[in-house]
Structure 1
Amino acid sequence: MSALLLCIDLQPIFLKAMPDAGRLLGRCHFAIEAARLLDIPVAFTEQAPQKLGPTAPDTLARAGADPVQYAKTTFSALADDAIRESIQSQGIEHLILCGLETSICVYQTAINAINADLQVTLLTDCLSARRPDDAAAALDALKRLGAYALPSETIFYSLLHDIKHPAFKSFTTLVKQYA
């Protein structure tokens, strides 16, 4: 199954408004590096970057050389024709989502993905919102619609499946680094 880690709107201007920005960014960095380690492609969406600024270079750098960046004006990444067509053209079947804001852009992206018959996993420790109650309600609704909502380590250990996986040692080092 072809998966994509889609990092939604991790722009500094939005991070400043999050009550737990440092923790969130650290967990997202972990997820980005774990995805790369497991050869899962990583892409970033940016809400109106020409007005609100791009994703921070240190976050982008974790995705490797020339990370995929999608500018958008829609709240759902998949409501943007170019993003949706790019994901479809890659044969992506499973979106793994991190970023913000859980109750707005993450929620709408997940809804559109589910409606497009994509499997959706929400990395719960890699999501945030200005109002935690709104985020909790959005996550509950998405779970009822079939999205998986689990912490990033749970998901990446599941993808490793076995200590015999060639990336296991590197992954456990990464886990310790971001503990």
Structure 2
Amino acid sequence: MSDPSNHLGLLLIDFQDVFLKAMPDRERLLKRTTFAVKAAELLGVSIAATEQLPEKLGSTTEALSSIWDVNTPVFNKSAFSALEAEGLHRWIEANQIDHLLIAGIETSICVYQSAIQALGEEIGVTLLSDCISERRPEDRGPVLEQLLAMEAHVLPSETIFYSLLGSADHPQFKAFTQLVKNA
């Protein structure tokens, strides 16, 4: 049986300081997303990031860009959907990704439009509920309800990564539990 993490991709959408400053829960968001990045790397999940107009709005926050692998691709975009970023589809194809784990800003705009487009292209979507955020918390519920109705999944990052481990017999279990303890 093949490793399920081989067909997953963690997509980090627009974790730029200009957007993070507007998030009411930015400290928690960065802490949980840091955990997700480290867990993805530990379990062999491909990671990519997008940046909205980085020449005007800046690049990914150093809190995240300093922890991921140096070969992690970062795609510039101007459209709200991350899937419109030049090169992102090639990354999906090259890594044989059929399901995206999505973390990012902002739930009601770029995360939503990226999820809608992925689902429309028959790419599975799981929003990491502890790794997404929005300026207006009241927008979250209706957006997630709509995405759930469209067969997206919404789950916390630990739930996803424990599911990938499957059991305490997994060779990375001990290292993973250290990540959990430090998160």
Q: TM-score, normalised by structure 1?
A: 0.95
For 2:95 and 2:169, how far apart are their aligned partners in 1? 29
- Paired position in structure 2 for 1:164: 169
Secondary structure of the residue aligned to 1:127 is strand
Give 1:30 deviation, angstroms: 0.4
Corresponding position: 1:46 with 2:57: no
- Paired position in structure 2 for 1:29: 34
For 2:174 and 2:139, how far apart are their aligned partners in 1? 38
- Paired position in structure 1 for 2:20: 15
Contiguous gaps of at least 5 residues in structure 1: none
Give 1:89 deviation, angstroms: 3.5
The answer to which of 132-141 and 162-171 deviates more is 132-141
Q: TM-score, normalised by structure 2?
A: 0.93
For 1:20 and 1:64, how far apart are their aligned partners in 2? 26
Give 1:79 deviation, angstroms: 2.4
Aligned length: 178
Question: Of 1, 10, 14, which aligns to 1:5?
Answer: 10
Give 1:81 deviation, angstroms: 4.3
Secondary structure of the residue aligned to 1:35 is helix
The superposition leaves residues 91-136 of structure 1 with CA deviations (integer Å, 9 ceiling, x where unpaired) of: 2101000011000000000000000101111000111000111122
For 1:62 and 1:81, how far apart are their aligned partners in 2? 24
Give 1:41 deviation, angstroms: 1.1
The superposition leaves residues 144-172 of structure 1 with CA deviations (integer Å, 9 ceiling, x where unpaired) of: 10011000101110110010001101111
The answer to which of 73-82 and 150-159 deviates more is 73-82
Give 1:61 deviation, angstroms: 2.4
- Paired position in structure 1 for 2:148: 143
CA contact (8 A) 2:76 2:86 kept: no
Corresponding position: 1:173 with 2:178: yes
Secondary structure of the residue aligned to 1:135 is helix
Contiguous gaps of at least 5 residues in structure 2: none
RMSD between aligned alpha carbons?
1.1
Give 1:66 deviation, angstroms: 2.9
CA contact (8 A) 2:30 2:63 kept: no
Letter in 2 for 1:104: I
The answer to which of 11-20 and 89-98 deviates more is 89-98
Give 1:64 deviation, angstroms: 1.4
Question: Of 98, 110, 113, which aligns to 2:115?
Answer: 110
Corresponding position: 1:101 with 2:123: no
Q: Which runs of 4+ in 1 moved over 4 A?
A: none
The answer to which of 60-69 and 10-19 deviates more is 60-69
- Paired position in structure 1 for 2:77: 72
For 2:143 and 2:159, how far apart are their aligned partners in 1? 21
Q: How does 1:111-126 map to 2 (within 5 A)?
A: 111-126=116-131
